[in-house]
Amino acid sequence: MAIRQLMPEPPDVVLSGVNSGLNIGDFVNYSGTVAGAMEGMLLGAKSIALSQAYDFDGDRKVPWRTAETLGPKVLRKLLAQDFPRGTFFNVNFPKCAPEEVVGTQVVSQGKYVHSLYIEKRRDGRSFPYYWMRFQGESPAHQPGTDIYAISENKIAVSPLKMDLTNHEFLTELQNSMNEDGT
């Protein structure tokens, strides 16, 4: 709406976030923050999703100072890049103080082992409802991924695209589907 109707001209950049919580690994697929950057990219703007990891011990403890302090330098470097067509960036800040950040690493998207838990809860009127809890556990050592970089107190920067095609399987499937001439 903003780009197509409200703004007199398209923006130079779309920044989506800073989100409270990580958007790494497979969880980028569920992220509204990543979706915001994706939409900006689809509309022709340089786009970056930004997320800040946090601790949770019954209460959120978000170290906003990390993204606030280190984000501008990361953004300047990214905005100096040529954004390949169809590409946007996903930036995740680790859950530590800025002075504890080890560096910035350009990485690929990691992969979690997924679990789904269903919790039966009751609302204020004692009516039951169900809460789905997705949990991802990182397989051991995935160097070069966003999951690993964050675990090492590094800022994770991932260039992402929307193409979800399994290119490794595409030709095999084409050949299989075309064997009978259909």
Averaged pLDDT of the chain? 93
H-helix or E-strand spanning residue 66 = helix 64-79
Distance CA 175, CA 170 (A): 9
Residue 139 pLDDT greater than 80, yes or no: no
Q: Name the pLDDT band for 179 (thresholds 50, 70, 90).
A: confident
Give the model confidence (pLDDT) of 75-116 as tens digits. 999 999 999 999 999 999 999 999 999 999 999 999 888 777
Share of the chain above pLDDT 70, in %: 96
- The whole-number average pLDDT for the span 35-62 is 95
- The whole-number average pLDDT for the span 43-65 is 94
Distance CA 55, CA 63 (A): 9
**Buried/exposed 121-155: b ≥16 CB within 10 Å, e otherwise:** eeeeeeeeeeeeeeeeebeeebeebbbbbbbebbb
Distance CA 135, CA 14 (A): 29
Give me the domains of the chain, ranges plus CATH numbers: 2-113+140-178 (3.40.1210.10)
Length of the chain: 182
Residue 153 pLDDT greater than 70, yes or no: yes
What distance lies between CA 73 and its chain's CA centroid?
19
- The whole-number average pLDDT for the span 32-38 is 97
Please check whether residue 37 is in contact with residue 88, taking contact to mean a CB–CB distance below 8 angstroms: yes
User: What's the pLDDT score for residue 117?
Assistant: 82
Encoded tokens for 95:
């859950």
User: What's the pLDDT score for residue 56?
Assistant: 86
Q: Kindly provide the residue ranges of all beta strands, DSSP E only, lying in the chain, ordered along the sequence.
A: 13-20, 46-52, 55-56, 60-61, 87-93, 103-106, 113-122, 128-137, 154-161
User: What's the pLDDT score for residue 142?
Assistant: 87
pTM for this predicted structure: 0.86
